[in-house]
Chains A and B, each alone.
Chain A
């Protein structure tokens, strides 16, 4: 019995031992089946990230006050209300290919319309699906905003900067 695979003395025990070991997977299978519920710990809403820049110089700018509201046919939704900010992040409406925002910088308001295409993206079996977007165009009024340009059109879960707002 020095070597399981090399001697004949163990031969009579192999059958019994194997038959005993064969019950292990039944237990394993039951355990696997009972341990399958997991929770979602990931961020699943892609954010459109915008940085504020000083018009003319292109330097990073810090607004003393900023509010951003999303506009729906029925309501307006406040996304951002902050002071002394140099960037902001908002989600895009996953139900349509257009989102309208009221952006108020230092007390002066503008309207920005973002056009995009949506596609489903599986985050994980636990977290389910989200909608990532590709920005196809934008329009804005120019009360305080000088220019709003697309830096990176992919609005996904990677946290990349998408828009440059010059004012």
Chain B
């Protein structure tokens, strides 16, 4: 009997390695989020040429990582002294968001992080009137309606917080890098929906989202790693504290 107990104990030690004393965990809810951008309607109210409505859907993968997909419909209409221009279209942008706040502090309610997106813009553009006035005289011309597809990358740092259960607000800045406007070098759009000025390789701005959040699952997150029982105590004392998330199906699910 004593031999069996000994074998069992040794086996447990082998299975568990040399770790297994104390660890702190927190239970974090993972959310699905659906958000609406308020900055578009605000800009329109103050007299912008741009009308833009944006919405995002986001799903937490773990306590620090989420996948976000955004869709935006924009129309831009301007009348300059030398031209009248119109573009309209829909853009989609997909990519991950990484939350820098630790799970035990964020608790699924707060976000301060950065996102990266790949965006596609499906748009049409038209210059209904081009006015020119040079030595030959004055005149008018136009650029007929044409459809294009543009590509861009977006880096978007931001913050969000829960104002009450089920509702978050937050803003994010964005830096967009144009890959291609899809309209050739001569007819780059004055405004590419979802991106900005098509003649600029970089555009910046801010968005202000209000989101509805629905918890769909809870995970247990280790905020303080297990400490080794013997032999490696010195290494543990010097080792960094890490946040570890149980992958799905690994026993971390509650």
Tell me if chain B binds chain A: yes
Q: Which residues of A contact B (CB under 8 A)?
A: 5-6, 8, 10-11, 14-15, 18-19, 21-22, 24-26, 28-30, 32-34, 36, 45, 70, 72, 77, 79, 91, 93-95, 99, 119-122, 124-125, 127-132
Q: A29-B208, A120-B143 are in contact. Are A93 and B105 (CB under 8 A)?
A: no
Q: A25-B208, A95-B137, A122-B187 are in contact. Are A33 and B130 (CB under 8 A)?
A: no
Chain A CB within 8 A of B214 CB: no
**A15 to chain B: which residues have CB within 8 Å?**
109-110, 161-162
Q: How far is the CB of A15 from chain B (nearest CB, A)?
A: 6
Q: Please list 24 pairs of residues, one from A and one from B, whose beta carbons are closer than 8 Å in the complex, sorted by A's number.
A: A5-B100, A5-B101, A10-B105, A14-B161, A22-B169, A22-B208, A25-B173, A30-B46, A32-B43, A32-B205, A32-B206, A70-B136, A79-B135, A94-B134, A94-B139, A120-B127, A120-B141, A120-B186, A125-B190, A129-B83, A129-B127, A129-B130, A131-B132, A132-B186
**A11 to chain B: which residues have CB within 8 Å?**
105
Chain A CB within 8 A of B104 CB: yes
* Contact string against A for B residues 109-121, beta-carbon threshold 8 Å, 1 for contact and 0 otherwise: 1101000000000
**B81 to chain A: which residues have CB within 8 Å?**
128
Cβ B163 vs Cβ A29 within 8 A: no
User: Residue of A at shortest CB range from B198?
Assistant: A122
**B241 to chain A: which residues have CB within 8 Å?**
6
Chain A CB within 8 A of B18 CB: no
